[in-house]
């Protein structure tokens, strides 16, 4: 494990019904924030899952990637999946992130707690 000199932290965002989708979509807004410097780049890849069979099966609903260059923060806003009906489903989201700092790549992973939402497929 290496010390991250720019103190970059990847934060999860709770999966929720999205206002921007007229409450008919679910998503999350995970973000990375660096408090001690500006990295060369930040990348995040998020996967949105529906959790089935009491947590024994995870169905991938969406995978999205974002990145930026020369910024101290990156907020991912493209994690959004359209509900097909109002049935309850359990969602969870996982994000893998990297920052490039002084020629070295640093990795992190976070995931949300499970959320039961009125959003079926």
The 10s digit of each residue's pLDDT in 67-91 is 999 999 999 999 999 999 999 999 9
**Model pLDDT, residue 19:** 87
Which residue's structure tokens are 């707690």? Answer: 113
The yes-or-no verdict on residue 1 having pLDDT over 70 is: no
- Residues whose CB is less than 8 angstroms from the CB of residue 69 and which lie 6 or more positions away in sequence, other chains included: 40, 41
Residues paired with residue 47 on neighbouring β-strands, in sequence order: 63, 94
pTM of the model: 0.91
| Average pLDDT of the segment spanning 91-98 | 97
Q: Which helix (H) or strand (E) segment is 58 a member of?
A: strand 57-69
CA distance 68 to 42: 6
pLDDT tens digit string along 14-61? 999 998 878 999 999 999 999 999 999 999 999 999 999 877 899 999
Residue with tokens 């169905």: 59
């Amino acid at each position: 494990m290496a010390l991250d000199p720019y103190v970059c932290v990847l934060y999860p965002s709770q999966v929720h019904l999205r206002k921007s989708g007229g409450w008919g979509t679910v998503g999350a807004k995970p973000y990375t924030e660096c408090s001690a410097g500006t990295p060369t780049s930040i990348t995040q890849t998020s996967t949105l899952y529906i959790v089935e069979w009491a947590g024994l099966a995870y169905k991938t609903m969406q995978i999205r990637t974002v990145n930026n260059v020369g910024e101290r923060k990156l907020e991912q806003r493209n994690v959004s999946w359209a509900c097909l009906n109002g049935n309850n489903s359990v969602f969870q989201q996982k994000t893998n992130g990297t920052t490039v700092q002084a020629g070295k790549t640093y990795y992190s992973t976070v995931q949300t707690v499970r959320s039961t939402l009125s959003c079926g497929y």
